[in-house]
């Protein structure tokens, strides 16, 4: 796995302790790209610190209940699994903000949170080392079923896609990009994140999309009655 100028091949390449960036409804996957607008003082300090070390930020969702509601408060409990991202670009806006781009390295399991010694949260992690492998099982993805559900979703929401680019995308790029862009809630995003392999993530995305389409059709039928 290469992200920016750095190769991540073994556990030794991954830091054991990382800066935690809680973001509800956010999904970063390996090789995926996430733009972020950083403006809170604690996260500006976090970016300054990681830029001077390994450039790695851990994206993780605050814990939520069965209805997808996030715990209230300034220091909510966190989900067990998140994704490490490397800062590959940064620009200063002139009004105190950073615009950064993160590229996903691998998922991780949060083992424990460190005592608060800085303005932002930190934790000890265990990386998902399989994410660093080039063999991600993309040949097992049911591409036809994935595209069929994607097409149905676009039609139901009167949206269009660049089908030429979609046709040229690898299964891995297709599954992960669609998962990150899907307009679903925190619980669905976490399910996609925690899928054990690419095939399962694709199957999960198809199932979530079919449920959303069925729900929308039920709502539409209810309005007509």
- pLDDT tens digits along 140-190: 999 999 999 989 988 888 888 888 888 898 999 899 999 998 889 899 999
Q: What pTM does this model have?
A: 0.89
**Rounded mean pLDDT of the chain?**
90
3-state secondary structure the chain: CEECCEECCCHHHCCCEEEEEECCCCCCCECCEEEEEECCHHHHHHHHHHHCCCCEEEEECECECCCCCECCCCCCCECCEEEEEEEEEEEECCCCCEEEEEEEEEEEEEEEECCCCCCCEEEEEEECHHHHCCCCCHHHCCHHHHHHHHHHHHHHCCCCCCHHHHHHCCHHHHHHHHHHHCCCCHHHHHHHHHCCCHHHHHHHHHHHHHHHHHHHHHHHHHHHC
Name the one residue in this structure whose structure tokens are 């073994």. Answer: 10
HSE-up (13 A, CA, CB side) for residue 9: 2
Which pLDDT does position 223 carry in this prediction? 32
Residue 208 has pLDDT above 70, yes or no: yes
* Residue 31 CA to its chain's centroid (Å): 10
Question: What is the rounded distance in angstroms from the CA atom of residue 55 to the CA atom of residue 40?
Answer: 18
Going by C-alpha positions, the residue among 60, 58, 56 that lies closest to residue 24 is 60
CB atoms within 10 A of CB 92: 9
Q: Calculate mean pLDDT across residues 73-87.
A: 92
Radius of gyration for the chain, computed over Cα atoms and rounded to the nearest angstrom: 19
């Amino acid at each position: 796995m290469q992200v920016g100028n750095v190769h991540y091949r073994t556990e030794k390449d991954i830091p054991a302790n990382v800066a935690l960036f809680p973001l509800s409804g956010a999904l970063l996957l390996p090789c995926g790209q996430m733009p972020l607008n950083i403006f809170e003082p604690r996260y500006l300090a976090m970016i300054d610190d990681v830029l001077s070390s390994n450039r790695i930020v851990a994206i993780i969702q605050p814990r939520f209940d069965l209805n997808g509601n996030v715990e209230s408060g300034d220091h909510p409990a966190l989900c067990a699994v998140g994704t490490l991202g490397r800062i590959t670009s940064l620009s200063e806006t002139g009004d105190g903000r950073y615009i950064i781009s993160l590229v996903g390295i691998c998922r991780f399991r949060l083992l424990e949170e460190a005592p608060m010694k800085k303005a932002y949260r930190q934790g000890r992690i265990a990386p998902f080392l399989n994410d660093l492998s080039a063999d991600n099982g993309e040949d097992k993805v049911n591409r036809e079923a994935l595209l069929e559900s994607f097409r149905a979703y676009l039609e139901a929401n009167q949206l269009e896609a660049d089908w030429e680019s979609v046709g040229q995308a690898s299964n891995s790029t297709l599954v992960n990009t669609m998962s990150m862009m899907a307009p679903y809630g925190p619980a669905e995003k976490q399910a996609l994140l925690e899928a054990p392999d690419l095939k399962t993530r694709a199957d999960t995305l198809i199932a979530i999309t079919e449920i959303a389409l069925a729900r929308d059709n039920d709502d539409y039928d209810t309005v007509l009655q």
